[in-house]
Chains A and B, each alone.
Chain A
């Protein structure tokens, strides 16, 4: 009896003690530790703040769920990779010290992505055009994830997705169609269906800075951008489709704010679910003062003087059904990628150009190559690094039809560990043949409830018309 009493007392004591043990004292997952330790040793408040954001209960819960769903996390995968041991967190690689790390850096940027190194050395592609130097701030690998909505939708609907013999996605309802992709085309569809990494988006404003052959800013343009998904919705009700718009994948609208010769140009672009249907592209052209339909199939011209076209919108916005291509998975690798930067890329006049400084880390990626069959298509080839955790593009380059490396683009994703929202900061796109650069600076809000349909219809154009 006395023994039983003791047992009861002991259990009660444990329960009471349990109440006083703080939640944070629970052991952190292994994938948080590298960042936490790194922040503690560096003493930089930005690192500390970021490490804390990775450790919030919401972030850890979501990170665990995604890890469980995918069956891996980037931190563990990268830990197994032993190449380039000198490139470690805390190191800052600049054009001044790059020589010391060049060999290892090139090792960490396989499949032709070592143009990132050329930017620092001023050799290769950048021998005659060295105005975009880079400062790589190496940070620990982050276990990253998408919005919970993508995971839940993927769990529910991924099983219904297939790719037909023409590489067209069938059976998709919402979420990531192939969370465990086996082929390049599945990876391409995954990225395509992430669309804007949410259900809707405002970028107020989106600023394009154009830089010429001499590296100087030649022009600046500002637009207002709105985007909305009508099917495959994962976060903002209604799910998964906005009733009455079942035939529409997504719509985007813009109005140009600056400079004067562009000001007032407005457009609404609609992408239909039907793979054979061209986009609808209805514009208000201020010089004509008319609402006018432009050819939605004309997707290959540069947008408002920039180095991107509708084909490159958000990195890739091509229609598989319209531009037949060969999709190859070149491999999987641990590579050096732009990290999830809590601040926009810092641009400054340095090293004789407009230098970028932001965080880089080792990440597991798929390497995808797309080779186009059409000789009249603007590109011959696209090559991507695609992140194995977020399914998002990390770096890319394009070859023109003559087989010359034409444009390069890397991303510095803005990411919220609490909810997995991923969106854009201010990446630059470099045209290394014509020697100009576009820096696209976003000011993004994602997943707004009650985003008005009047931003995506003729009324929007009418209201912008003068």
Chain B
């Protein structure tokens, strides 16, 4: 009943401005031309509102879901600003998001099978059907809501918001303030659109100070302070397909007599001990646009903390042995910088120069899941007496950086009127003082182990059932994005390619956007992900998300 009430109210709220917008459009058309910025007066102050309705449909082509209609996302979004006074405004994004596939496919056998996995058979995964269900902690109806207060030297932003740092696309390095919902198509969902749909907003206070001075020839100096009052959130990736739906990551291989149980011990509510702090200094030094970044907060990703195994008697789903873990989110301490500049010394055919983008950060004592001295020690399970229940992780300093070039290139034989925007990025992660082995637990066993009654125990070196997803001392990734625009930016084809050098996995997303007229924005795209399907390493975790999709957006 509550759900129904909420839905009705939400629909009315959405429908009201739509009617308003439609009425205005009609009046404009009568006046001659369709014009407008959708700005109205409320209590003699300007209120502007825009938004969109979007329906998507995807057909899978990974062998697991080939030819199946795997998702039908529906989105209704309003974005509005109310200028309360000269220096104060209220900004909001209201979003209703859901997946009609849950309704359309609910009676189909393949869907039911995909929705029930051995690991979490007891939990339904319908909570990804609509975003506002009680199981979904990220109810997004008020996705963003904040006050902007401007004064001579300081701007404040207070409320639920996104803070986006950094220079990199495709993979996030410095963009770590807000966590991300990775349950749907992983980073391919919107990495080419700046994570607009997947970044999880936070309640924050942001103050930006503009001192109005130019020390050391630095122009446009500004200093940003960010405070999370004590309600951090973590990335949502759903390793056990609990509420990831059919798009969740592949489940780790486990012997069929074994189950993994992960307890959610994440604190709820606001706790001052969980306060997060960040600071960014930004400026322009002789056309080098730079930032210096500092952060103290919580880790966005889980570390499994073993709590010891337990037995289930009788073993109702054949899994008699349960490996129990708690989710652990440690502290995160980061310093870093970003710089960019156009390198006008390099020019292709005398025409355009690339923009160099560099982003680097150093993380102190980042926790990693510990395998032990050598592969097979399985320290992370807590079962190896040599490491006990405390040797499950290692804290190591890590350097992560990206060097990228954005280069608009004229290939007149392919597009006589517009450039090809090419963006190549090289990522490197380096762990200092690494002794022993680190792994992405629990992605540890290969598929062969699934047929075994017992898991390999600690000390099972050279087992042909073990093939962990290692965290290497040096990890390298590459991304390449290219797009161009035909017919004065009305037809926009784009390709994104991501590559993992260590695991030899890759992902491709290619799409075509059409931008004819003011309102309709259709998009047709393909996502293909290739990785180690057997062990689910790296991109292999998500390769069942291969799909062709169609997106139809009506904006106003």
Q: What is A's interface to B at a CB cutoff of 8 Å?
A: 205, 207, 209-210, 217-220, 222, 244, 257-261, 263, 276-278, 280, 282, 285, 287-298, 300-302, 304-307, 374, 376-378, 400-401, 434, 436, 457-459, 462-463, 466
Which residue of chain A has its CB nearest to the CB of B196? A287
Among B340, B351, B410: residue with most chain A CB under 10 A: B351
> What number of B residues sit within 8 Å (CB to CB) of A?
69
Which residue of chain B has its CB nearest to the CB of A439? B33
Residues of chain B from 122 to 154 with CB closer than 8 A to chain A in the complex: 144, 150
A243 to B222, CA, bound (A): 21
CB distance from B513 to the nearest CB of A (A): 9
Decide: A259 near B342, CB < 8 A? Known: A282-B289, A374-B351.
no
Q: Write out the residue numbers on chain B whose beta carbons fall within 8 Å of the beta carbon of A307.
A: 488
A297 to B169, CA, bound (A): 22
The 5 closest A-B pairs by CB, nearest first: A288-B194, A458-B220, A260-B555, A298-B408, A289-B164
Q: What is B's interface to A at a CB cutoff of 8 Å?
A: 33-38, 50-52, 79, 91, 144, 150, 155, 161-162, 164, 166-167, 169, 193-194, 196, 208, 210, 214, 219-220, 222, 282-284, 287, 289, 340-342, 344, 347, 349-355, 357, 406-408, 410, 412, 416-419, 485, 487-490, 515-519, 521, 555-556
A295 touches B341 (CB 8 A): no
A463 to B79, CA, bound (A): 17
Decide: A261 near B521, CB < 8 A? Known: A289-B194, A293-B340, A376-B351.
yes
B488 touches A288 (CB 8 A): no
Q: Write out the residue numbers on chain B whose beta carbons fall within 8 Å of the beta carbon of A259.
A: 50, 518-519, 555-556
Which residue of chain B has its CB nearest to the CB of A221? B518
B412 touches A401 (CB 8 A): yes
A295 touches B406 (CB 8 A): yes
Residue pairs across A and B with CB atoms within 8 Å: the count is: 153
A458 to B211, CA, bound (A): 13
A297 touches B342 (CB 8 A): yes
A344 to B14, CA, bound (A): 39
Residue in A302, A459, A463 whose CB lies within 8 Å of B220:
A459
B412 touches A376 (CB 8 A): yes
Decide: A436 near B351, CB < 8 A? Known: A261-B521, A290-B194.
no
Among A282, A298, A401: residue with most chain B CB under 10 A: A298
Residue in A257, A300, A459 whose CB lies within 8 Å of B419:
A300
Q: Write out the residue numbers on chain A whose beta carbons fall within 8 Å of the beta carbon of B419.
A: 298, 300-301
A305 touches B515 (CB 8 A): yes
A399 to B284, CA, bound (A): 39
Among B162, B164, B341: residue with most chain A CB under 10 A: B164
Q: Write out the residue numbers on chain A whose beta carbons fall within 8 Å of the beta carbon of B517.
A: 218-219
Among B287, B485, B556: residue with most chain A CB under 10 A: B287
Which residue of chain A has its CB nearest to the CB of B286? A247
Given contacts A258-B38, A301-B408, A436-B488, 13 further A-B contacts (CB under 8 A): A210-B488, A218-B518, A258-B50, A287-B194, A290-B164, A290-B166, A291-B289, A293-B357, A295-B352, A296-B353, A302-B485, A459-B210, A462-B208
CB distance from A19 to the nearest CB of B (A): 52
Q: Write out the residue numbers on chain B whose beta carbons fall within 8 Å of the beta carbon of A296.
A: 342, 353
Q: Write out the residue numbers on chain B whose beta carbons fall within 8 Å of the beta carbon of A282.
A: 289
Decide: A217 near B34, CB < 8 A? Known: A301-B408, A302-B488, A401-B412.
yes
Q: Write out the residue numbers on chain A whose beta carbons fall within 8 Å of the beta carbon of B162.
A: 289, 466
A445 to B355, CA, bound (A): 34
Residue in A260, A295, A304, A458 whose CB lies within 8 Å of B407:
A295
A408 to B338, CA, bound (A): 43
A296 to B498, CA, bound (A): 27
Among A258, A293, A294, A302: residue with most chain B CB under 10 A: A293
Q: Write out the residue numbers on chain A whose beta carbons fall within 8 Å of the beta carbon of B161.
A: 466
Decide: A280 near B489, CB < 8 A? Known: A220-B518, A258-B38.
no
B51 touches A260 (CB 8 A): yes
B353 touches A297 (CB 8 A): yes
A288 touches B193 (CB 8 A): yes
Residue in B37, B144, B155, B555 whose CB lies within 8 Å of A462:
B155
B417 touches A302 (CB 8 A): yes
A374 touches B350 (CB 8 A): yes
Q: Write out the residue numbers on chain A whose beta carbons fall within 8 Å of the beta carbon of B355.
A: 293-295
Residue in A257, A290, A295, A306 whose CB lies within 8 Å of B354:
A295
CB distance from A181 to the nearest CB of B (A): 28
A276 to B169, CA, bound (A): 30
Q: Write out the residue numbers on chain B whose beta carbons fall within 8 Å of the beta carbon of A466.
A: 91, 144, 161-162
A257 touches B37 (CB 8 A): yes
Among B36, B407, B417, B521: residue with most chain A CB under 10 A: B417
Which residue of chain A has its CB nearest to the CB of B38? A258
Q: Write out the residue numbers on chain A whose beta carbons fall within 8 Å of the beta carbon of B353.
A: 278, 295-297
A278 touches B519 (CB 8 A): no
B407 touches A209 (CB 8 A): no
